[in-house]
A = this chain, B = another copy of it.
Amino acid sequence: MLAEIITIGDEILIGQIIDSNSAFIGKELNKIGIDVHQISSVKDDKQHILDAIEEASNRVDVVLITGGLGPTKDDITKHTICEYFEDTLVENKDVLEHVEKLFAKYIATPISDVNKQQALVPSKSTVLMNLYGTAPGMWLEKENTVFISMPGVPYEMKGLMKDEVLPRLQKRFNRPYIIHKTILTYGMGESTVAEKIEDWENDLPSYIKLAYLPNLGRVRLRLSARGNDKKLLEDTIEKKVSALNLIIGDIIVGYEEDETIEMRIGQLLIKQGKTLSVAESCTGGKIAQSFTANAGASAYFNGGAVTYATQSKIDILGIDPEIIKKHTVTSIEVAEAMALAVKEKFKSDYAIATTGNAGPEKGDGDVEVGTVFIAIATPKGVFSEQYVFSNLRERTIGKAVNKSFELLLNTLL
């Protein structure tokens, strides 16, 4: 069984927004054994949309359409779908009630006529209630093909997929098994990992595929097994992962699809009853933000100081100006002093500190653009490393953040 994703919106083709919806939909469909055959992006143009729907309906069993359901004039998906099904729009009372409730709760202005139109749906459609916004999802069928229309706003689409679309698809279809196993590694480049596991990789059976997913110094390995014998797939995956563990077990952080190194750090800190604080200069708050983005961070994350200006390192952390004068603000010595100071100020067991120059120009220190010093304070002392990451600001910040996680993780394992 195949699915096709059609994303609608000029803003995708001219690149004003990134289509993150297709990735989410692809991932979720894959989990229930539905293959995404193609992803097509088309314009907010009636004929384009009609063509895309018609073509997709000839190729696949499920067509998932996102976008173009907003309340404004450039959103024409609903009217176009209505035309494709030779249908008319009717007001749905449940949707109208829901829209009115949303306005009462979150928006000061009274509900407008434009917003009331969100309650209009094709008469032949089954409404998929969108609890996260005003545009309802719609489920339609024609000649054994299922058509699902969802809003393009990512968190609304995600909610609809989980609440309505996936359960309904699961109920209706019965698919062969697909099992994915993701292995998150750290501290080693893609090609080095590839060389180390070459024999293991060559030895994979044909029904298991391996993919390398590198990102800012972290490499994820993804194994995908497909077949009808669920037990065989599970056993083989387990055996291969065990074998992999013997080869590169020292760089494997976790096996969960959405797991990150910072989540693993959080788990370890909670398990050990320890806490963390951070002092950030060039990373500018991104380390703190990475931890606090995860629910439950308050169990181990005491907080942090973003001491961006040199003076703030003195005022807030109490760094001795003489150390800065002697070694410059971007130095091993200042990084270590920052880590020790923030650990004490926030009364934490561990601390991370960063100072460096993310560019594009030379800063208060005198090191080359891309140079970052990372210090880790532990209950036993402090250590630090110097890196040269990149001449691109965003990448230097991203790599410094990931590298700081690796250093801390090493001390916790």
Footprint of B on A, CB under 8 Å?
9-20, 22-28, 30, 35-36, 38-42, 44, 70-74, 105-107, 109, 112, 114-115, 132, 153, 155, 180, 182, 189-192, 194-195, 201, 209-214, 220, 222, 224, 277-278, 280, 283-289, 291-293, 295, 297-298, 301-309, 311-312, 315-316, 345-347, 359-361, 363-364, 388, 392-395, 397
Contacts and interface: CB of A to CB of B under 8 A. Distances in A.
Contact of A346 (B11, B211, B302, B312): B312
B293 A284 contact: yes
Contacts of A306: 278, 285, 288, 292, 303-306
A280 B292 CA distance: 11
A311 B347 contact: yes
A16 to B, nearest CB: 6
A107 B302 CA distance: 35
A40 B38 CA distance: 7
A14 B36 contact: yes
Contacts of A24: 15
Contacts of A39: 12-13, 19, 39-41
A273 to B, nearest CB: 15
Contacts of A11: 211, 213, 222
A305 B308 contact: no
A214 B18 CA distance: 13
Given A15-B36, A298-B308, 13 more contacts: A15-B22, A15-B28, A18-B19, A18-B23, A19-B22, A39-B39, A71-B191, A106-B388, A284-B291, A295-B361, A303-B309, A303-B312, A304-B306
Contacts of A278: 306
Nearest to A202: B73
B309 A305 contact: no
B295 A360 contact: yes
Contacts of A277: 312
Contacts of A288: 280, 284-285, 288-289, 306, 308
A397 B201 CA distance: 42
A311 B302 contact: yes
Contacts of A220: 16
A222 B283 CA distance: 32
A79 B194 CA distance: 19
Contacts of A105: 388
Contacts of A210: 73-74
Contacts of A360: 295
A305 B70 CA distance: 39
Contact of A302 (B289, B298, B308): B308
A224 B295 contact: no
Nearest to A118: B191
